[in-house]
Amino acid sequence: MSDLRVRFAPSPTGYLHVGGARTALFNWLLARKQGGTFILRIEDTDVERSTRESVDAILQGMEWLGLDWDEGPFYQSDSFPLYREYVQRLLAEGKAYRCYCSAAELEARRELAMREGRKPKYDGTCRDRSDHPDAPSVVRFRTPQGGEVAFNDLIKGRIAFPAEELDDLIIQRTDGTPTYNFCVVIDDATMKITTVIRGDDHVNNTPRQIQLYQALGFPVPEFAHVPMILGSDKARLSKRHGATSVMAYRDMGFLPEALINYLVRLGWSHGDDEIFSREEMIQRFDIGSVGRSAGVFNPDKLLWLNAHYIKAGDPERLADLLMPHLTRRGVVISNGPVLATVVKTLQERAQTLEEMAERALFYYQAPQGYDETALAKFDGDHLAKVFQVVAEKLSTTQAGTATEFDAIFKDICAENAWKMPQVGQPLRIALSGGTQAPGIGEIVETLGREESVRRIRVLSNVIAGV
């Protein structure tokens, strides 16, 4: 066990999105590689926007992805007394002060600063006030003046900010609630976080937080800011680019290992390798190998990975994952073949579990209609003959495997001078309703000889007008 302590700290104001999931993944991988500790913290100090539903969605997303945490989940809302204690400490030490400026006064000063070409930051009006009027006040951090605030980002390299660019940060609002930057510092310090891996939209928060660490006498952790994820139009990934929720990808039929594999490659690389098992990711991951430029989300690449994992997946596990997709379609599994057997016939060609569910329907629901365009390619007398011969053969054979059934169909073709498509396509339509289905032998083995013969005779009767 190493001293490394990392955390993932989402705000419960919505679902777990793919950008947050990637940040969680990078933290988790580093902890698992170095034998460190991965902590989950829910930053729910925004009481108005934080919901239990969002918390549950985040936890569900983490669990589905297999990103297990070692400590937590901790909730910031449980730490309000701790935050107030540290605010009072800074006030007592003269490192913070009360500010009585009204919102209207602050806005007027900002507008004046902008007209005069100055940075619209707080001008320190209350910095050295000695009176304490009976009026609403916020608490501001007395930002150290002069010099620069610099840190070595594990991804971006050295980053420095002139101290004069930083104004006196509000650390407690007029209602007594603490602000984001202050809570993060207290939490990370008291949880002994050694490395902060987060999105690069937090880069500008880092110098302020470093000053707070130093003012409170806490060790400053290392920082690694992960570039954002963009859509294909190079704009920040959003709903207009498609699903951004982790659980939406589950509902669309993606496997967690496919999404994890895709996210780890979205900004990090290991040579030209594209496919990584979870163990390989842990073994090879290096935060220093994360790129500095934004990653572009490519749905086609994710589909390709998902198809790979479906093709290579365990049929029993895939069957369990497929169940909800079939249930939504009203399928009752007990009315048909063993689901894992069905999966084996479909996993070679399916890109998602949703697609597999659609293709699996005919196994549990006999065709209510047929591909008329495909049927029209064959003469009616030919169809009648094919269905008669095949039904008779299947009714009397002792064959039971796809290989044995395919051999029978080859014999039928040879005996009647037919080519395989002249038998295969009509049978596929009779058994599934269309032409996009697994091999005929596979279908017959999975449906069973009795059900296969029944379906063949149903279509034969339809064509005969019976």
- State whether residue 226 is helix, strand or coil: strand
Tens digit of each residue's pLDDT (9 = 90 or more) over 363-396: 999 999 999 999 999 999 999 999 999 999 999 9
d(CA 38, CA 1): 12
pLDDT digits (tens, 9 = 90+) for 285-295: 999 999 999 98
What is the distance in angstroms between the CA of the first residue and the CA of the last residue of the chain? 75
Give the HSE-up count for residue 291: Cα atoms under 13 Å, Cβ half-sphere. Answer: 14
Q: Quick: pLDDT tens for 344-365.
A: 999 999 999 999 999 999 999 9
Name the residue among 367, 351, 363 with its Cα closest to residue 326: 363
**Is 121 one of the catalytic residues?**
no
Query: Does domain 78-226 match CATH 3.40.50.620?
Result: yes
Domain boundaries, the chain: 5-69+229-299, 78-226, 313-364, 372-464
Specify whether domain 5-69+229-299 bears CATH 3.30.70.1730.
no
Question: Strands 96-99 and 229-230: what pairing?
Answer: unpaired
The pLDDT > 90 percentage for the chain reads 84
Q: Do domains 5-69+229-299 and 78-226 have the same CATH topology?
A: yes
Would you say residue 447 has pLDDT above 70?
Answer: yes
Listed in sequence order, the DSSP H helices in 123-252 are: 180-190, 206-216, 246-251
The per-residue pLDDT for range 118-150, each reduced to its tens digit, is 888 898 999 998 888 888 999 999 999 889 999
Could you tell me the CA-to-CA distances from 219 to 40, 215, 287, 323 in Å, in that order? 21, 10, 21, 50
The mean pLDDT of 193-213, rounded to a whole number, is 97
Q: Class of 372-464 per CATH? A: mainly alpha
Provide the residue type at 419 as one letter: K
pTM of the model: 0.92
Alpha helices in 99-229 (DSSP H): 103-115, 180-190, 206-216
With contact defined as beta carbons under 8 Å apart, do 41 and 73 qualify? yes
Would the pLDDT of 243 be above 70?
A: no
Q: Out of 239, 311, 377, 410, which one is annotated catalytic? A: 239
Q: Is the pLDDT of residue 9 over 80?
A: yes
